[in-house]
Amino acid sequence: MKSRFWTGIAFCSPLIFGLLAFTVLPVIASFWFSLCNYPILEPPHYVGVANYRDLARDDQFWHSIRNTFVYVLGSVPLGMAVGLGLALLLNQKVPGIKVFRTLFFLPTVVPLVANSVLWIRLLNPQQGLVNSFLRLLHVPESWMPGWLADERWAMPGLILMSLWGAGGGAVLYLAALQDVPSELFEAAELDGAGPTQRFRHVTIPLISPVLLFTGIMGLIGGFQEFARAFVMTQGGPWDSTLFYCLHLFNSAFTEFRLGYASAMAWVLFAIILVATVAVMRASTKHVQYEQ
Amino acid sequence: MTGRHRKGNASPFSRLALGLILAAATGGCLPQPKPEPHVITVWQPFDASDQAALDHLVREFERTHPGIKVKMSFASNDLTSSQKLFLAIAGGVAPDVTFVDGQQLSEWAARGALADLTDSFGRSGLKPEDFWEPRWKESTFRGHVYAMPWGADPNFAFIWNKDLFRNAGLDPDHPPKTIAELDNCIDKLTIVDRQGNITSLGLNPWEWTGANCLFTWGYAFGGNFYTEPDASHPLGTVTADNPGVVKALDWMARFGRKYDVRKVTAYDAQMVGIGNTPFYAGKSAMRLLHVSQIKDLHRYAPTMDIGIGLIPAPPDGEYPNGWIGGWSLAVPRNRDVRPEAFEFIKWMCTSKEATDIEAVEMEQFPAYAKSPAFARLSKDPVRGVFYQILSHAKHVRTLMPVQGYYMERLGRAIDEVLYGGMLPKEALERTTEDVSNRLQSVADELAQHGTGAHS
């Protein structure tokens, strides 16, 4: 029995080693760095909580937090709603449904930089397809969004772009929808429930664990948003898309303040932890797990 | 029988002796093992379009230096940061040689990222006067040499589309020389449709985004961004609120208000890609051209009737004007300055072969002022203008160990003015204060730790 235990450990050792060396150790190190002045090229020098104190006084820090919250609050619910809507459509029994499922999932596997260049074009205020569509709807030119060229519209533009990946969530919702027993719908129908009531009182409760899962993953991903802004806007115009992680990156590698950036990383961890716990607690009454 | 046996089977000792005698006798005739070549690693920041020229440089160096092999690989450098290099230095696995942009040198040297090349340079027989002066300034920090200048970018030349000038009733052979003339040309060459969208643009003053456009116009308006170190300010003084810089930003703000900064940005952003700029599409009449874009002119606008000259400036500004940037070659810390590495640096920066490849195949200007390539470059109708700028320009971005933050902060000041409506003077005073504070904290750190460059 003992020899089987050690054989098992030996087989797991690459993973254990990887976890320790590339996750646990960096996490511990980053906490130590957050208490240090660490300009990367010189050894870290202990300064206590000075980095955390500096954070509180940094206007850019608060600005980036505000931007990131706006993004999370905009992109997560919208992404879930669009994903669920897609899943409902893709759950229909129509010819060629597998092709549609593949098509809607495709944007999820397109590399992010390619997606970003595509969306720079789509969101161009003069020539982009998004505004061309709005012109078809006779939206007045003075109301036309300036998207990435306008500090008031750049964040909504990135939230709109985030919906491009809604197909990833839709696949999960689709799996959950197909798991809902059809007899429950039949019973509800016999009791006189219409489509809206069936959706609200049968579908939503039964797929609620998946909704919770995608919601929490969306929250975590949203707070860590970086690459889109790095490629498309560099945080502009006028810092309107300066996400928390972009500010963290700039602090570390442009300003040589790795200690400060590590403190930012720990604050982000705390924010995500609090947000996740809050969502988990709030969901206990609404999420129904199969008995 | 036994005796014969003994005679025919030599003892191990005699076999060994025989072997040694044979080896000694034939040793001179056997092929000698080749000495292992010295391998040096070099990190370069250029994109794939320069790969053939870089390969040519390596081949040519290895041909002329048979004992040295060069392993050159890519390391991204976005002019403010190079994560790969920093982490390699921190981890003690840095390459033997790296490219460093001129503006980065003070900061990197102050942080101790680069090895001191003062002694190697002193022994090389080269002199500071051998290089264009602004580029040499960008290779030293506090009197020590930390790099050798390789390229010299004369920023920028002013180009215009002569056909669009003719169509607008402007004389294509008399480009604007003052800001008033430039404003007049922009007005005549910019077309706005009934919806308020720009359909043809005279010039986008902030095409070179962020701090770069303010450096360009700030120097043209006679401004200055820093003062050299002195006894009371050992790291220099930040002067972003210099009157000339304020005037330049004020001019940009007036342009932004007149044509709507968001419309101009939207107009410029509609074309994505190097060859897909409004100028090459015949939709923008004037632009500021970087020396590395000369090849793009031939590629993307081969039939366009183009004029080239100097950037306009106000009467109390600076004309001819410009500032010089460019790449240098340095040795990262954690590496001894290997003689082979310094030889490579010296060859890359000063040899006829390397500067020729740099000028012809990479379309860059060498920083080595004595390069024979300049005899040809100075006579070329397009490159000759860049040569003129290079000969006159005295400015660089800045020489301060807070360059990355300074660039970022200037970029934000421009946004505060263009998008936020802040007064240029106020935005630049805030910038000066912020960067000065950061400079002071870096000076304190350096004094406290005694690390980095010589204090």
pLDDT in tens, B203-234: 999 988 889 999 999 999 999 999 988 888 88
Q: Cα B369 from chain centroid?
A: 16
Q: In 3D, which of B156, B155, B154, B135 has the Cα closest to residue B146? A: B135
User: Quick check: helix, strand or coil at residue A284?
Assistant: coil
Percent of chain B with pLDDT over 90: 69
A112-122 helix and A154-162 helix, angle to the nearest 10 degrees: 130
Residue B81, amino acid: S
Chain B's closest residue to A142, CA to CA, is: B195
Q: What are the backbone dihedrals phi and psi of residue B325, each rounded to the nearest 5 degrees, phi first?
A: -125, -170
Contact present, B218 and B245 (Cβ < 8 Å): yes
Instruction: For residues B322 and B3, give the distance between their C-alpha atoms in angstroms, rounded to a whole number.
Output: 98
> Considering CB atoms only, which of B272, B412, B449 is closest to A239?
B412
Q: By the CB < 8 Å criterion, does B437 face chain A?
A: no
Query: Using omega within 30 degrees of 0 as the cis cutoff, is the peptide bond preceding B381 cis?
Result: no
For the cut 90, the answer to whether the pLDDT of residue A55 exceeds it is: yes
Cis geometry, peptide bond prior to residue B156 (ω within 30 degrees of 0): yes
State the pLDDT at residue B391.
Answer: 94
Confidence label for B3 from pLDDT (cuts 50, 70 and 90): very low
Phi-psi region for residue A180, left (φ > 0), alpha (ψ -120 to 50) or beta? beta
The model's confidence at residue B297, banded by pLDDT at 50, 70 and 90, is confident
pLDDT at position B184: 97
Q: Average pLDDT of chain B?
A: 89
Task: Kindly state the average pLDDT of the residues A258-270.
Answer: 97
Mean pLDDT score, B51-74: 96
Closest CA in chain B for residue A117? B272
Kindly report the CATH class assigned to A53-283: mainly alpha
Identify any residues that bridge with B43 across adjacent strands, giving them in sequence order: B73, B98
Q: How far is A250 from chain B (nearest CA, A)?
A: 9
Residue of chain A with shortest Cα separation from B438:
A255
Distance from CA of B244 to the nearest CA of A (A): 23
B40-154+324-377 has CATH 3.90.1010.10 classification: no
Q: Do A41 and B333 touch (CB under 8 A)?
A: yes
* CB-based contact, A40 to chain B, within 8 Å: yes
| Dist CA B319 CA B177 (whole Å) | 9
Query: Helices B352-360 and B339-350, interaxial angle, to 10°?
Result: 50
- State which residue of chain A sits closest to B332, comparing Cα positions: A41
> Are B408 and A256 within 8 A, CB to CB?
no
Cα distances (angstroms) measured from residue A40 to each of A260, B74, B437? 11, 21, 20
Among B6-10, B49-53, B120-124, which stretch is predicted with the lowest mean pLDDT? B6-10
| 8 Å CB contact of B81 and A253 | yes
Q: Angle at Cα B120 formed by Cα B115 and Cα B126, nearest 5°? A: 125
Name the more confident of A244 and B34.
A244
Q: What is the structure's pLDDT at B269?
A: 77
- The verdict on B406 touching A (C-beta cutoff 8 Å) is no
Q: Identify the pLDDT of residue B260.
A: 93
Q: DSSP characters for B354-401?
A: HHHHHHHTS---BSBTT-THHHHHTTSTTHHHHHHHHHH--B-S---T
Instruction: Collect all residues of chain A within an 8 Å Cβ-Cβ radius of residue B195.
Output: 141
pLDDT confidence tier of residue B8, bands split at 50, 70 and 90: very low
The answer to whether the Cβ–Cβ distance between B267 and A142 falls below 8 Å is no
Domain boundaries, chain B: 40-154+324-377, 157-321+400-449
Neighbours of A175 (CB within 10 A): 12
CA distance B163 to chain A (A): 25
Mean pLDDT estimate for chain A: 93
CA distances from A99 to A89, A103, B449 (A): 13, 6, 63
B451 pLDDT more than 70: no
B138 secondary structure, DSSP code? T
Task: Determine the length of chain B.
Answer: 455
What token pair was written down for B271? Answer: 């074309």
pLDDT digits (tens, 9 = 90+) for A122-160: 999 988 999 999 999 999 988 999 999 999 999 999 999
If you average pLDDT over residues B321-326, what whole number do you get? Answer: 94
The Cα A165–Cα B174 span in angstroms is: 53
Distance from CA of B154 to the nearest CA of A (A): 25
Q: How many CA atoms lie within 13 A of A179 on its CB side?
A: 15
Which residues, 6+ apart, have CB-to-CB distance to A140 below 8 Å?
Answer: none
**Contact A124/B90, CB-based, under 8 Å?**
no
Are the beta carbons of B65 and B306 closer than 8 angstroms? no
- Residue A73's pLDDT is what? 97
Judging contacts by C-beta atoms under 8 Å, the chain A residues touching residue B434 are none
Cα separation, B286 vs B278, whole angstroms: 10
pLDDT at B274: 62
Assess B405–A contact: CB distance below 8 Å, yes or no: yes
Which residue, among B104, B146, B206, B265, would best test binding to A if mutated, counting the most A CBs under 10 Å from its CB?
B265
Bridge pairing between strands B286-289 and B157-161: antiparallel
Confidence of residue B31 (pLDDT cuts 50, 70, 90): low
Partners of residue B87 in chain A, C-beta under 8 Å: 40
To the nearest whole Å, the CA of A151 is away from the closest chain B CA by 8
Q: Which residue pairs, CB below 8 angstroms and at least 24 apart, start in B59-65?
A: B60/B353, B60/B354, B60/B357, B61/B344, B61/B347, B61/B348, B61/B354, B64/B347, B64/B351, B64/B353, B65/B340, B65/B343, B65/B344, B65/B347
Residues of A in Cβ contact (< 8 Å) with B270: 124, 126-128
Q: Which of residues 110-139 of A touch B (CB under 8 A)?
A: 117, 120-121, 124-128
Rounded-to-10 torsion of CA A184, A190, A191, A195: 70
Tokens of B264: 């101009």
Which residue intervals of B287-377 are DSSP H helices?
A: 294-300, 339-350, 352-360, 373-377
Residue partners of B354: CB distance under 8 A and separation at least 6: B57, B60, B61, B347, B348
Residue B325's H or E segment, with its range, is strand B323-325
What pLDDT shows up at residue B18? 54
Looking at domain B157-321+400-449, its CATH superfamily turns out to be Periplasmic binding protein-like II (3.40.190.10)
Per-residue pLDDT tens over the stretch B233-280:
888 899 999 999 999 999 999 999 999 999 998 888 766 666 678 899
pLDDT score for B404? 84
Q: What is the pLDDT of residue A126?
A: 87
Least confident range of B226-230, B308-312, B383-387, B427-431 = B226-230
- What's the gap in Å between the CA of A251 and the closest CA on chain B? 9
Residues of B in contact with A42 (CB under 8 A): 111-112, 449, 451-452
Looking at the complex, does the CB of residue B451 fall below 8 Å from at least one CB of chain A?
Answer: yes
A263 pLDDT exceeds 70? Answer: yes
Q: Do domains B40-154+324-377 and B157-321+400-449 have the same CATH topology?
A: yes
Buried b (16+ CB within 10 A) or exposed e, B413-435: bbbbbbbeebebbebbebbbebb
The mean per-residue pLDDT over the stretch B187-198 comes to 91
